[in-house]
């Protein structure tokens, strides 16, 4: 692919992303949602995060056919951190730190 073709593909992808998201953001100030729907919107980020993380937990690649126990330790620590801290940010940070520290061992 030439650099011009790549540039055109990036511009088309950006335009498609913008055009599919902007109208809902622009109209959202005129549409009143119920408190129940608004409360449901608060669960969307954690749902998306779970959908991204779950495959990595259960279907991560193995090294030489061996299961990497580091992932399971990080999941346990991250889950406990999320339970007690009630913060997805601290859960993610603890999971990444555990994986990094255990790989140094």
Please state the pTM of the whole predicted model.
0.53
Radius of gyration of the chain (CA): 20
Q: Which residue(s) pair with 63 in the sheet? A: 66
**What per-residue confidence (pLDDT) applies to 6?**
93
Tokens of 21: 């998201």
Per-residue pLDDT of the chain (105 residues; tens, 9 = 90+): 688 899 999 999 999 999 998 888 888 888 888 899 889 988 888 888 788 878 877 776 666 666 677 888 888 999 899 899 988 889 989 989 998 998 888
How far is Cα of residue 86 from the mean position of the Cα atoms in its chain? 17
């Amino acid at each position: 692919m030439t650099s011009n073709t790549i540039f055109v593909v990036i511009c088309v992808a950006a335009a498609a992303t913008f055009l599919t998201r902007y109208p809902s953001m622009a109209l959202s100030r005129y549409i009143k949602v119920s408190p129940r729907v608004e409360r449901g919107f608060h669960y969307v980020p954690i749902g998306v995060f779970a959908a991204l993380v779950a495959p990595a937990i259960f279907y991560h690649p193995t090294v030489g056919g061996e299961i990497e126990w580091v992932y399971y330790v990080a999941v346990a620590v991250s889950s406990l951190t999320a339970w007690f801290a009630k913060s997805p940010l601290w859960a993610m940070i603890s999971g990444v730190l555990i994986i990094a520290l255990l790989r140094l061992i």
